[in-house]
Amino acid sequence: MASEVLLIMGPPGAGKGTQGKRIAARHDLRALSTGDLLRDHVARGTDLGTQAQAIMEAGELVPDHLIVDMVRTELDDMDEVRVLLDGFPRTPGQAVSLDALLAEYGAEMSAVIQLQVPDEELVERLVSRAEQEGRSDDGEATVRKRMEVYAEATRPLLDFYDARNLLVRVDGVGDLDTVTERIEGALA
């Protein structure tokens, strides 16, 4: 099978994790969420987990080199790079490193899905996620910080990918199946 790399982007609470896993399953891609990988490191108490924990609880960004090394480890054990990236890249530096990494593996970005959800709805979703999942970085102050970090460090990447004609904008408001079908329609 040929390599394929999809990226799903959007603010915290847009539904990247949920939709990313669905799209990955349909396209036979590995869903690679740097947030999930980091939470796993924290749970296992690895060195990386120990370094990342306080940063994550503050809603700030784990340093680029740690993230890029973690992603490299994931790509290393694939014969063919077939991934859906969720939560990475999150900074211009990570985006540049990703291009270099993909080139090493003979792969390139296929498309970037931008999930669009209005701010008021994001806050509601994050509050209910905090109640259901009990994620330790879903407290109000941390959520606000994560929104700010998204706007400052990550949102500019949308222009970076748009300039390369990779950006696919999708309305992220609606029930899960509706949004999944919209994404599929937009990728087709």
Closest CB 25 distance from ligand AMP, rounded Å: 19
d(CA 138, CA 89): 21
> DSSP 3-state assignment of 168?
strand
Stretch (H or E) spanning 54: helix 47-57
> Six-digit token pair at 93?
């530096």
Give bridge partners of residue 167 from the DSSP assignment. Answer: 112
d(CA 122, CA 79): 37
Q: Residue 67 phi/psi, 5° resolution?
A: -70, -45
Which listed residue (67, 81, 83, 117) binds ligand AMP by CB under 6 A? 67
Contacts of 107 (CB under 8 A, 6+ apart): 3, 4, 5, 80, 81
Candidates 2-10, 56-64, 125-133, 159-167; binding stretch for ligand AMP (CB under 6 A): 56-64
Say whether residue 161 binds ligand AMP (CB under 6 A).
Answer: no
Say whether residue 34 binds ligand AMP (CB under 6 A).
Answer: yes
Which listed residue (14, 29, 32, 56) binds ligand AMP by CB under 6 A? 56
Say whether residue 62 binds ligand AMP (CB under 6 A).
Answer: yes
Stretch (H or E) spanning 184: helix 176-187
Stretch (H or E) spanning 112: strand 111-116
Say whether residue 172 binds ligand AMP (CB under 6 A).
Answer: no
Closest CB 60 distance from ligand AMP, rounded Å: 6
Is 155 a catalytic site residue? no
Catalytic residue among 21, 125, 129, 155: 129
Say whether residue 41 binds ligand AMP (CB under 6 A).
Answer: no
Question: How many other CB atoms sit within 10 Å of the CB of residue 105?
Answer: 16
The residue (of 59 and 168) whose beta carbon lies closer to ligand AMP is 59
Is 16 a catalytic site residue? yes
Closest CB 5 distance from ligand AMP, rounded Å: 15
d(CA 10, CA 90): 10
Which listed residue (23, 24, 61, 179) binds ligand AMP by CB under 6 A? 61
Residue ranges that bind ligand AMP, judged by CB under 6 A? 12, 34-35, 38, 55-56, 59-62, 67, 87-88, 90, 94, 137, 146
Q: Among all residues, which ones are annotated catalytic?
A: 16, 90, 129, 135, 146
